[in-house]
Each structure stands twice: as C-alpha cells, then as structure tokens.
Structure 1
C-alpha cells in the first residue's frame, strides 16, 4: 500500500502545475494575420517568462464577438484583454478619431513615430477612465483601395463606386467627399458582398486584402495609403492592478516584444502580399506624389470638420507631431 501511494505521489509530482493566472484575450483577425501571430508570440513569451504561472488563452476571428462587444467584455471582466482597431474607441472617447483620419501621414514610418511618441502615450492614458490599460500600438499598415470597376488614379475615378468602409464617420465622409458611395459593412460580410456585386470595392491594408482573399474578387488595386490602421492591445485595469508587480512587468515587456515582432512581420511580408495580389491578375496603380496630393487636399477639408469633435488640443498636437516627424 505504501508503495502504491509513493508511486502515485511520484506521478502527480511530474504533472505540470496549473497556472495561477488566466488571461483570456480576444481579437477579430484570423490565424494567418500578422497581428494574430504576434499575439501568439505574446502568449509564448508570457507563459515562458512566468514559468507557466500565467496562462494566456487566445480567441481569434471574433469568437468573443465584434470589437465593441469584446472591449465591453474586458470592462466587465468576461475577458481580460482585447486587441481592437483604435477607431473603435471613438464610441467612448472621440479623441481616438484622430489616429485614423485620412491622408494625414505621408508614410508608415511617420505614423509609427507619432503613435510611439508622447501624443500616442497621451491617447493611451485616456483609456484608464474606461477601466482599461493600453499596452501599446500594433499596426496593420497603410490602407489601400480595391475595386472591380476601373483603375483609381484621381478622385474623379471614385465617382459612383460603391466602396465598403469601416463604420468610422470620418472615413465615410472622406470617401463621400472624394465622390465614392461609401458603404459601411461588417468585416465578415465583405468577401461575399464583393463576390456577389453588392459592393464594387473595399479598402484595407495589403495583409488583409491578401489573407482575406479579396483579390480573388477584385480587378484593380490602388496603393492609395489613405489611412494608417492601428490596433490597441488593452487589458482590464482592475485585473492588471491585481497582478503582482513581477507579473505586470512580464505582461508589459512581452507585449512590447510582441509589438516589435508584429512590426517585423509587416515589414517582411508586405511585398509578398503585393506580389501575390499581382499574381492573381489584379492591376496595380501606384499614385505619384502629385496624384496623392489631389486626394489629400480634399481629405484635409473633411478632417478639419472633425477638429472640434475630436478636441482642438488633441487634433492640433497630433498634426504638429506629424509635421515635426516629417521635417526630420
């Protein structure tokens, strides 16, 4: 009998200890998307650095609901973390609308420098009254236009094109001013709507256009770089505060490293996404600086209409930061 209990004790002693802390993390991307892979890197780093004391459980592809619902789940404690586009936070604080205004960043490098500077941190700090802690800025890169009607070289080419946009008022107003027929639509409906001709086109980063196979049902791609899309990994403030200091540091540093991993993936794979889109037979248009300026001039008039709603101080500081980076 003693040998039996001794053997059982040895067996139990070899089983891995159950994690004391569970972090449930939801996001809307599929498993092939670079942000999703970056979150798996976050999971690996946290579990490794905590020696298994923290168990990160990831729920991709909107398994925990659309972005707004996921954020509300973090606020109520159903989830501990969510990774959502920064524009979603306009539902709580209009200042977040400044990040994804159209044609404000001359390039991706400038956008990242602003996000990772004082203005970006000040915006993340505005999450705390919402019961959230922003852990940084993930990127999805610059958004571009696809359609099946005609090449887009100038604003007049958008005339009458039914274009799916996100449910972001500034995006809708910008494309309306450019002459398109902007059509907000849930992301999960876009492929079938393009395939069935319900809409003529859509706008997204190259990584999404490729991984979501939109290029299979589109004929033209314009590298319009009209909006920079950023994602915010947000964690519940009460939950984060409840963690021991060492675990808070593990979560923070692991997310910093995962963000760098995400940036590396975007930079490494962007050209590959573009080549795959071209190989599918899509005609690609690159805008010259003059062509880009024609779109930007119209968009700027729309952006100024949002200055007061966003907050003049936030708007002006953000634009000044962009100018400062552009001048360097």
Structure 2
C-alpha cells in the first residue's frame, strides 16, 4: 500500500471514530435529559414564605428524602421568600422548565383553576387535622390532575394551618365587628367573595407590604395562618387575634411538566415517593406548630380569643359555598366529603 493510501485510510478511520464518539455523546446527553440511570441533577424549588416556615422545612425534608432514595444522584436548591419573583413569575418559569418545583399558595393557584377554591369554603374545617384528612380525597386528586392543562404536574397539598383574623383593634366575633374594616387577604376568588359578603373591605397585597401597612393603619387586620403570623412577626404591630378557623391554607406542590416528562418512569416514581414521605412528615409538623405558634403569640402579649360562636357567619358561609358549588362539581363533591367526615 502506498504512503498516500495509508494516510487516507488513517484519516477516514479517525473521522469514523470521531463521529461515533459524537453520536455516543449526543445519546448520553439525550438520555441524561430523560433521567437516565446515573444522571445527577439539582432541582430548583421556589416559594413565597420565609425559611423557617413549615412549607420551607417540608421542602428541605423532600431534599433529604430525594437524596436518600436516589443514592445522592438528585438534590434540591430552595429559593424562598419570592427571590425568583412573584407567583405569576414562578408559574411562567415552571412552564418553561427554568424552575423544577413550586410550593405555590392555593390562593394564587385558585385564580387560575376554579376547583382549588374548594379549600377556601368557609368554616369547612374546624381544625387543621380535618383539612389534612381531605388531602388524599378523590376531589383533591382531581384538582391536582386538572393542573396538567397548565403545563404543571400537581403532586400534593401541604398545609400551614387554618386561617384566623389578626386585628390592630378589637376581636372579630361576628360580621358586625368586621364591617367596613380593611382586611388584607391573598387574592383569591373565594376569599374575595367571603370577605365582601362579611362586609369588610378585602385588600390584596403581597406579604412584604403587610407589616408596614398594619403599623401605619393602611389596613385594620389580616386573614392569616399562625405559622405565617409568627414567621413574619406581624404580632409586633397587631395584638388582637381571633381564632376563627374560617378557612384552611394549603400550598399546592407542583412540578414543571416539561421537566417531569423528561425523567424516566423510575425517577418520576422516586420523586413522588420522596415528596409523599416529606409531606407526611410535614403535615405532622404543621399540627405541632399550631399549638407551639399559639403559645409563642400568647407569650408575646397577643390577646387571643378562642372558640367563638360561628353561627353569626352562617348566612355568609352558605352563600359562598352555594356560589362556588355552582361553578365546579369538584368543589361540590369536596364540600360533601368534608361534611361527611365530621
């Protein structure tokens, strides 16, 4: 064989090997994006609450479970307190896969999906335990399934406690006590309807503005769960807490459908298992915090009115439940199941 032929043989052989290597790399990258065996990945989680809030510690527990089940292949990176933007921003990032998981307030998500207003039906739960019991009900599962149409995979519900009323002046024993009062709420159709029917002036605003607004008298009170009340320190500027239990307050835990679909079925199931383990732990933590947070508030000098007679709110309760039952069969079924569990 001539030198020229030998040279071209080596050249062609080298090109074949190079192309094969590129093909192997492309295949490896493709499989990696699909959650191939051995892939390592850090998932981004975003939410609006502080790091010591029960939702955040549940997210941390999810990370522990995920690391354990994946033998360290998967980990998480938490972005708390709206550091990645508003919840509307977060949903957009979830849709594109820029964020992997969101612990979204049910309040915001109920503006995007009617059925989620079920959790905000007035006086449906007298305790957080009653709300948690509905977490795996058939209507709750249907709510999560509906999120697929938004480019999200609904995974679970986690709770911060029931909603109560903190006022700068006086208690909230009846609608008469709330008439004309400016009450900060999270923007949600059911919450808006309830507070309007009560006769208050519902005022939606982000958490970051609430402390100063209470302090300066821009608002007279807030609709709040005890964990947020303690972690955001609103008790420093408002001292009258009425344990109304008018609603519960879940986070809807969602995953980017784009990211979820890129994973192998085995990794998808691993994520679901890790999250369920974390939320099973988290709901028990939330129950413990209801008691400890209440004691923290009392120790801080907050005046607490417990066990009010809710019959004064019955007319409003019936009106709101009827209004939203007509909008969604899921809400109607959810109310019926909650009532049958009492």
Q: Please report the TM-score for the alignment, with normalisation by the length of structure 2.
A: 0.85
Give deviations 1:35-81, integer Å, cap 9, x for gaps: 10110111122122212211311111111111122122101111111
Which residue matches 2:52? 32
Provide the rounded CA distance (Å) in 2 between the counterparts of 1:120 and 1:227: 16
Cα shift at 1:278: 1.1
Structure 1 residue aligned with 2:332, among 292, 316, 326? 316
Residues 1:295 and 2:313 aligned together = yes
Which residue matches 1:277? 297
* TM-align CA RMSD: 1.7
Residues 1:306 and 2:304 aligned together = no
SS in 2 for 1:133: strand
Which residue matches 2:6? none
SS in 1 for 2:279: helix
SS in 2 for 1:137: strand
Provide the rounded CA distance (Å) in 2 between the counterparts of 1:112 and 1:219: 28
Q: What aligned pairs does 1:19-168 form with structure 2 within 5 A after superposition? A: 20-168=40-188
Cα shift at 1:253: 0.9
Provide the rounded CA distance (Å) in 1 between the counterparts of 2:79 and 2:198: 37
Give deviations 1:62-103, integer Å, cap 9, x for gaps: 111111221221011111111111232233322222222222
| Structure 1 ranges of 4+ moved more than 6 A | none
Provide the rounded CA distance (Å) in 2 between the counterparts of 1:92 and 1:183: 19
Residues 1:171 and 2:187 aligned together = no
Which residue matches 1:15? none
SS in 2 for 1:127: helix
SS in 2 for 1:226: strand
Is the Cα–Cα contact under 8 Å of residues 144 and 203 in structure 1 kept in the other structure? yes
Which residue matches 2:7? none
How many residue pairs match? The answer is: 305
Cα shift at 1:19: 6.2
Cα shift at 1:109: 2.6
Provide the rounded CA distance (Å) in 2 between the counterparts of 1:91 and 1:201: 23
SS in 2 for 1:120: helix
Q: Please report the TM-score for the alignment, with normalisation by the length of structure 1.
A: 0.88
Residues 1:187 and 2:203 aligned together = no
Which residue matches 2:20? none
SS in 1 for 2:52: coil
Provide the rounded CA distance (Å) in 2 between the counterparts of 1:239 and 1:186: 29
Cα shift at 1:304: 1.7
Q: What aligned pairs does 1:204-219 form with structure 2 within 5 A after superposition? A: 204-219=224-239
**Structure number, greater radius of gyration:** 2
Is the Cα–Cα contact under 8 Å of residues 149 and 161 in structure 1 kept in the other structure? no
**Residue 87 and residue 224 in structure 1: after superposition, are their counterparts in 2 closer, same or farther (change >3 A)?**
same
